[in-house]
Amino acid sequence: MGISLKSIADDLSLSKATVSWILSGKGEEKGFSAATIKQVTDYARKVGYTPNLIARSLSMGYTKTIGLIIPSISDTFYSQMAQSVEASVSSYGYVLILGSSEGDETKEQQLIRSLRSQQVAGLIIAPTNKSDKAISMMLHDNFPFVLIDRYIPELRSNYVIVDNENSSYSLVRHLYSSGCRRVAVITTDMHLYVMGKRISGYRKAVLDSGLPLEDRLCVEIDRNTYIEDVKDKMNRLLDEVPDVDGFFFTTHYLAEEVMRYFIMHGTDYRHKFRFACIHSTRALDILSPEMARAMMPITDMGRKSVDILIENISSRDDFDQKELILDNTLLMEGI
Amino acid sequence: MGISLKSIADDLSLSKATVSWILSGKGEEKGFSAATIKQVTDYARKVGYTPNLIARSLSMGYTKTIGLIIPSISDTFYSQMAQSVEASVSSYGYVLILGSSEGDETKEQQLIRSLRSQQVAGLIIAPTNKSDKAISMMLHDNFPFVLIDRYIPELRSNYVIVDNENSSYSLVRHLYSSGCRRVAVITTDMHLYVMGKRISGYRKAVLDSGLPLEDRLCVEIDRNTYIEDVKDKMNRLLDEVPDVDGFFFTTHYLAEEVMRYFIMHGTDYRHKFRFACIHSTRALDILSPEMARAMMPITDMGRKSVDILIENISSRDDFDQKELILDNTLLMEGI
DNA sequence: TTGAAAGCGCTAACAT
DNA sequence: ATGTTAGCGCTTTCAA
């Protein structure tokens, strides 16, 4: 049917081996005559030969594909990450398999298994859960993978994350030093490791500013119903704490929703409050150019994690797990 | 090393064939004894056997992977598309390989070749260019693929697109009937088929509203420098046509940039102008809730194209290419 | 009720 | 300078 090594070999009355050597560029090295090299390459081009990578992989015992598992592809944060990972991966001559865990632990486990079954050379994962059977399994099998964005403190694995606590601290400190007295923190998923770090950064900043921690200033939004929940909780907050003068958002979409809230209410939010947010989006940039923001080095995170993964794949047995903590770039007025 | 069919067979003193039958669920059907079936499945679970899909694919002659090629992963439009495609693909038990063409024809060609080399069962492509050698090749080989969003009029292939011309027409008509007299169109990539349709929708609407087409009202932005270019062209437009009272954006990021322009200039854009845009984003929704918008059925497009592709894969030789033109949902005040 | 063996398309050690 | 051959891990026909 399709053009195979064998069909080319037959057509040219050569052996499969000869054709294989030549087409994989080792013709010279193996000492084939210039004539046959030319003959084979020309013929292969002419008939439009493309190697069957599945067969090659089986024979070689490895593939040139790597897998990426993220909670959501459409979230700007992860789509930027996927963009960067895809670019790096393909620059290494690999191909990217993408899976979405939907923030669901079970789906994540299944994906890991499925992709390993596909024989991906390695995996990059933005994990959704605290600790994971499939992840321990990879560790046990010495299978190359790197955790990105979120990580699991108990496990000694490759990871690339950002310094959430310090960034949060700096942002909130900045709010206070620009005049705020009562900064609310708007967050979700407080149980997640990253979120925890962001909140403790906030807390330290409040205390270091000589002010008390107030429960009413800590607003947790339910991620699954956040659009509605933001409205309710904002109503309550502004009611209970009318003199709130600053907001620290632990993640972008909460900030966006609060902006929407203000716009819907005709509030002159740009003059009335000061804002800080972890991560930024185009919408925030337009809606509130003066918002202090931690610009996550997403592209860098993607690139670095691929670098680490590729290195791990190449070394495999004697590879020291790499732990990388990148800094956010802080975007703050007057700094 | 790894757990394979053979290692299990050896451990259990059975043959590879037996284990294969049983583990692929055809144990009953083939009439194996309940005892061996249990023995094999239990043992496989115990040692954590996962089939090598590469080997299976080679043996079966096909894979359960499909490829998606889009111009940019981080653009919200395409990331939503990828999200939807991934979900459908995985619901069919397939796995998704993702490639980004970066809007570059050559990269797109390479990707098609590369993914076909990986033996993907089919391809979904948002093509960047008018006509494509690699695409004709697929047609020639009768290789299953479907074009999405954009398509190539000359080629008879599967495609899923939206009715750009009619949506644009309705949106612009709506602007005029709500009082506008001079609606500018802000666009990029006028040479692209889709953009052409959107612009001709605009033109028809202008004429049908009994107004003249004005060159100065048609603003083309350079996609590569659009952030700067929007500023320049907007300055010029407002200067040359001070009584412009409406804007039709042929794509989301242009609308966003113009919103930014207004915000930076402190313009009360929500009362001064009326807007319409093809596609919407979170930012636009927040910035200009009253903007008339064509809500692209992205999720539907993704899902439908996977459906078509899977069908094409199953039939292959006797498959009628499917052409699907979906409607945008129009979001317009008072309608 | 189970096994032997061929074959998927390619690589690579070992001939010649 | 080129060919033979034995796998890679799985499926599946044909036997037993």
Q: Nearest-CA residue to the C1' of D11?
A: B59
In this complex, do A82 and B74 lie within 8 Å of one another by their Cβ atoms?
Answer: yes
Q: Answer whether B172's CB lies under 8 Å from B214's CB.
A: no
Q: Enter the DSSP assignment of A293.
A: E
Determine if strand C comes within 7 Å of the CB of B72.
no
CA distance B168 to B174: 10
Q: What is the pLDDT of residues B197-235, one digit of tens each?
A: 999 999 999 999 999 999 999 999 999 999 999 999 999
Strands A246-249 and A183-188: parallel
pLDDT band at A33 (very low <50, low <70, confident <90, very high): confident
In this complex, do B48 and A100 lie within 8 Å of one another by their Cβ atoms?
Answer: no
CA distance B122 to B65: 8
pLDDT at residue B221, rounded to an integer: 97
pLDDT at residue A237, rounded to an integer: 97
φ/ψ (deg, to 5) at A322? -105, 135
* Helices and strands, counts by H and E, chain B: 15, 12
Which distant-in-sequence residues (6+ apart) come within 8 Å of A236 by Cβ?
A: none
Nucleotides in chain C near protein beta carbons (<7 Å): 1-13
Q: Answer whether B281's CB lies under 8 Å from A285's CB.
A: no
Q: Answer whether B78's CB lies under 8 Å from B127's CB.
A: no
Residue B335 has pLDDT above 50, yes or no: no
- Burial (CB < 10 A; 0-12, 13-18, 19+), residue A45, is exposed
Q: Answer whether B119's CB lies under 8 Å from B53's CB.
A: no
Q: Nearest-CA residue to the C1' of C9?
A: A55
Residue A151 has pLDDT above 90, yes or no: no
Between CA B266 and CA A80, with CA B292 as vertex, the angle to 5 degrees is: 75
Nucleotides in chain D near protein beta carbons (<7 Å): 1-13
Q: Answer whether B248's CB lies under 8 Å from B168's CB.
A: yes
CA distance A303 to A146: 12
From chain B, pick out residues whose CB is under 8 angstroms from the CB of A83: 72-74, 100
- Give me the amino acid identity at B178: S
Does residue B71 belong to the interface with chain A, where contact is any CB pair within 8 Å?
no
Torsion over CA: B276, B280, B281, B285 (sign): positive
Section A78-89 average pLDDT: 98
Give the global pTM.
Answer: 0.94
Does residue A136 belong to the interface with chain B, where contact is any CB pair within 8 Å?
no
Nearest nucleotide to A18, CA against C1' atoms: D2
Q: What is the pLDDT of residues B116-152, one digit of tens each?
A: 999 999 999 999 876 688 999 999 999 999 999 988 8
Task: Give the helix ranges, DSSP H, for A216-322.
Answer: 226-240, 252-264, 269-272, 282-287, 298-315
- Give me the amino acid identity at B280: S
pLDDT band at A82 (very low <50, low <70, confident <90, very high): very high
B16-23 and B5-12 helices, crossing angle to 10°: 110
pLDDT at residue B1, rounded to an integer: 61
Q: Percentage of residues in chain A with pLDDT exceeding 70? A: 98
β-bridge partners, B158: B146
Q: 10 Å Cβ neighbour count for B296?
A: 23
- Give me the amino acid identity at B105: E
In this complex, do B63 and A57 lie within 8 Å of one another by their Cβ atoms?
Answer: no
Closest CA to A63 of A21, A85, A93, A27: A93
φ/ψ (deg, to 5) at B242? -65, -20
Longest dimension (CA), chain B: 87
The half-sphere exposure of B292 on its side-chain side, counting CA atoms within 13 A, is 25
Q: What is the pLDDT of residues B265-281, one digit of tens each?
A: 989 999 999 999 999 99
pLDDT at residue A281, rounded to an integer: 93
pLDDT band at B105 (very low <50, low <70, confident <90, very high): very high
pLDDT, chain B, mean: 94
Closest CA to A281 of B8, B286, B314, B82: B286
CA distance A8 to A36: 12
Q: What is the pLDDT of residues A90-136, one digit of tens each?
A: 999 999 999 999 989 999 999 999 999 999 999 999 998 766 889 99
Determine if strand C comes within 7 Å of the CB of A2.
yes
User: Token pair for residue A246?
Assistant: 């600053």
Q: What is the pLDDT of residues B151-196, one digit of tens each?
A: 888 888 999 999 999 999 999 999 999 999 999 999 998 888 889 9
Q: Answer whether B259's CB lies under 8 Å from A286's CB.
A: yes
pLDDT at residue A155, rounded to an integer: 86
Which distant-in-sequence residues (6+ apart) come within 8 Å of B324 by Cβ?
A: B159, B160, B161, B304, B305, B308
Between CA A259 and CA A267, with CA A263 as vertex, the angle to 5 degrees is: 100
